[in-house]
């Protein structure tokens, strides 16, 4: 019993340290995005775009590539997964498959919940070709590596976790809004189908439900084609 309690205590302390490091690391990312002020004002998404938006004091925003646009190919530093410690383009590798792409710009206490929920759907539908990968957007990848490795190990996250520079967030690439802590892009045939944006602290069971439902729709649409 004492050993069990000690293990639980150590695990909690380890998770606190991880979150503390993430907060420190990703706070630097926010500063980096201040240079994109001229592009930070986005028009509200229209119904035709089928984009889910988050709301800020400035109003609703859209984060991620326009619906129907081509997903830009980009290289990442693979931190976990079969290609770890290598530079790889997952957009290239996954080709025309349906993909769930997760961009993390700011830490969220429930980010592991989101990643594990996506893992579960991908595992159940791997035979359909469904794939996923996560990208921590940071210019401090050396510091990001141990954080992602620890989170993947402790939370048993199976999707490949990677790191990429803040260049991937710009309007000329994936057009991530600075206020979106997490942006999830659903795409197929390397074309954006739908985007979901979560502000820091917004990830919960209720907010994840529409995302998970649309991942299933992504699979169904792919099977019908």
Residue 83, Ramachandran bin (φ over 0: left; ψ between -120 and 50: alpha; else beta): alpha
DSSP 3-state helix, strand, coil percentages of the chain (rounded to 5)?
Answer: 45, 20, 35
**Sign of the alpha-carbon dihedral angle for 49, 52, 54, 57:** positive
- The DSSP 8-state label assigned to residue 203 in this structure reads -
pLDDT at 141: 78
Domains and CATH numbers, the chain: 2-224 (3.40.30.10)
Q: Average of pLDDT values for 72-86? A: 94
Q: Average of pLDDT values for 92-99? A: 96
pLDDT at 49: 34
**Other beta carbons within 10 Å of 68:** 11
pLDDT at 44: 31
Q: What is the mean pLDDT of the chain?
A: 79
Q: According to DSSP H, which parts of 54-204 are helical?
A: 90-94, 111-124, 141-155
Starting at the edge strand found earlier in the chain, the sheet holding 99-104 runs 87-88, 76-78, 161-164, 131-137, 99-104, 182-188, 191-198
Contacts of 83 (CB under 8 A, 6+ apart): 160
Share of the chain above pLDDT 90, in %: 60
pLDDT at 176: 96
The tens digit of pLDDT for each residue in 173-195 reads 999 999 999 999 999 999 999 99
Q: Which two tokens stand for residue 29?
A: 């990312």
The tens digit of pLDDT for each residue in 4-54 reads 555 565 665 555 555 554 444 444 433 333 333 333 333 233 222 334 555
pLDDT at 31: 35
The tens digit of pLDDT for each residue in 137-166 reads 999 878 888 889 999 999 999 999 999 999
Share of the chain above pLDDT 70, in %: 71
pLDDT at 217: 84
SS3 198: strand
pLDDT higher at 95 or 51: 95
pLDDT at 20: 52
Q: Average of pLDDT values for 79-100? A: 95
pLDDT at 12: 57
SS3 32: helix
């Amino acid at each position: 019993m004492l050993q069990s309690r000690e293990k639980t205590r150590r695990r909690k302390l380890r998770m606190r340290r991880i979150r503390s490091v993430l907060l420190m690391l990703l706070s630097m990312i926010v500063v980096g995005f201040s240079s994109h002020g001229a592009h930070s004002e986005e028009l509200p998404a229209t119904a035709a775009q089928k984009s889910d938006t988050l709301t800020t004091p400035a109003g609703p925003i859209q984060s991620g590539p326009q619906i129907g646009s081509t997903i830009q190919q980009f290289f990442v530093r693979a931190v976990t997964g079969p290609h770890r410690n290598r530079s790889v383009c997952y957009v290239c590798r996954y080709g025309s498959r349906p993909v769930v792409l997760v961009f993390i710009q700011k830490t969220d206490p429930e980010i592991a919940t989101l990643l594990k929920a996506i893992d579960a759907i991908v595992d159940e539908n791997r035979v359909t070709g469904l794939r996923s990968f996560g990208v921590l957007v940071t210019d401090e990848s050396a510091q990001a590596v141990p954080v992602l490795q620890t989170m993947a190990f402790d939370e048993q996250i199976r999707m490949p976790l990677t790191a990429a520079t803040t260049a991937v967030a710009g309007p000329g690439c994936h057009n991530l809004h600075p206020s979106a802590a997490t942006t999830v892009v659903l795409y197929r045939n390397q074309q954006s189908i739908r985007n979901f944006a979560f502000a820091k602290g917004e990830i919960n069971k209720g907010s994840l439900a529409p995302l998970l439902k649309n991942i299933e729709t992504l699979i169904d649409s792919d099977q019908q084609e």
